[in-house]
Amino acid sequence: MGFGDFFKKLFGSTPQEVVDKVETFTQENYDKVKETATPIIDKVEAFVEDNYEKAKEAAAPIAEKVETLAGETFEKVKEVASPIVEKAEELAGSAIASVKETVSSFSNDASEKADEIKTKVEDVVKPADENAD
């Protein structure tokens, strides 16, 4: 018993006849589904287009309000933060001036100490040079 005989007994047809029937069935039903679905697809497309415009129109005032609110909030934050920023700048300036003053003081003290040490060294070196002659 061959493969073809098996299909013929099982389906009453050869494998090629089964394939042909399936293709025919598929094509007929595809066409029916396409015919049935086309008006529905058209309605869905129209619905989406109509409602997209409506949604866009409805959202426009909300978007404007959000934009206005965001702008106002930004301005209020700037208003509130401005004195804080100014105070921070003043404090930073004071701190820098204080550090400069302290460093300058240390520098002057160090220069004075260096002069004192130089004088002491010269006082010691001069007599030693004079004695060496």
How far is the C-alpha of 79 from the C-alpha of 29, rounded, in Å? 70
Q: Is the separation of the CB atoms in 20 and 13 below 8 Å?
A: no
Cα angle vertex 114, ends 108, 120, to 5°?
A: 140
Write the CB contacts of 21 (distance below 8 Å, at least 6 apart in sequence): 13
Domains of the chain: which residue ranges? 3-132
* pTM score: 0.35
What is the per-residue pLDDT for 120?
A: 79
Instruction: In whole angstroms, give the CA distance from residue 29 to residue 130.
Output: 127
**Interval 39-83: pLDDT, tens:** 888 888 888 888 888 888 888 888 888 899 998 998 998 888 888
Note the pLDDT tens digit of each residue in 15-45: 777 788 888 888 888 888 888 888 888 888 8
Q: CA-CA distance, 7 to 21, in Å (whole number)?
A: 13
